[in-house]
Chains A and B, each alone.
Chain A
Amino acid sequence: GIQVEQSPPDLILQEGANSTLRCNFSDSVNNLQWFHQNPWGQLINLFYIPSGTKQNGRLSATTVATERYSLLYISSSQTTDSGVYFCAGEAAGNKLTFGGGTRVLVKP
């Protein structure tokens, strides 16, 4: 199966700062998703983005499929953005493989 690597592993932001999270995958994917896990463990899908760019409020994501990476942008960060951000990729085979996550702490 594919390998998914995320960087940085940890990120501390001051409220209002911008940041970029990166996800590299070892093979071509036909499915790439970003998730946010809140402090209680609930995972929420942020983006389904196998290629191209999407925006949702202060969050946006870009996937460059030919170069096998995806980026998640957080702008004007808020304390509620704290948590763990995961990307997950899928090649053939009906199962998503998750990266190790980026743990984000936004300080007031």
Chain B
Amino acid sequence: DGGITQSPKYLFRKEGQNVTLSCEQNLNHDAMYWYRQDPGQGLRLIYYSQIVNDFQKGDIAEGYSVSREKKESFPLTVTSAQKNPTAFYLCASRISSGANVLTFGAGSRLTVL
């Protein structure tokens, strides 16, 4: 079945450590997105990529980094510079940028101890 796989589902990290969240899609979508969701809040855009080897900052990119070396993969690194990294992270994709339906993965819940 086609879809988006995020891993790990749950992750615990000590302060000062970097952590990488995986996002893999087999939908042949060009555009991929990372969102952050805090408890009781909406989704905020971290980074997005419209095509391989290209990505743009979203609204809250500070303390995060991404890469897009393959069409299927868009990993997100939460660095030690991110001051409040505990959150629910959602990866999404769509066929291309523009007026297309967004499909989401199941999310990764990061807790910093």
Q: B-contacting residues of A (Cβ < 8 Å)?
A: 1, 30-31, 33, 35, 40-45, 48, 50, 86, 88, 90, 94-101, 103
Is the Cβ of B97 less than 8 Å from the Cβ of A42?
A: no
Contacts of A45 in B (CB 8 A): 101-103
Count residues of chain B with CB under 8 A from any CB of chain A.
28
Pick from B21-29, B39-47, B66-74, B77-85 the stretch touching chain A.
B39-47
Q: List 26 A-B contacts (CB under 8 A).
A: A30-B98, A30-B99, A31-B99, A35-B102, A40-B106, A41-B37, A41-B88, A41-B107, A43-B92, A43-B104, A44-B104, A48-B99, A48-B100, A86-B42, A86-B43, A88-B43, A88-B102, A94-B48, A94-B50, A94-B98, A95-B33, A95-B48, A95-B58, A96-B45, A101-B41, A103-B40
Min distance, Cβ A67 to any Cβ of chain B, angstroms: 20
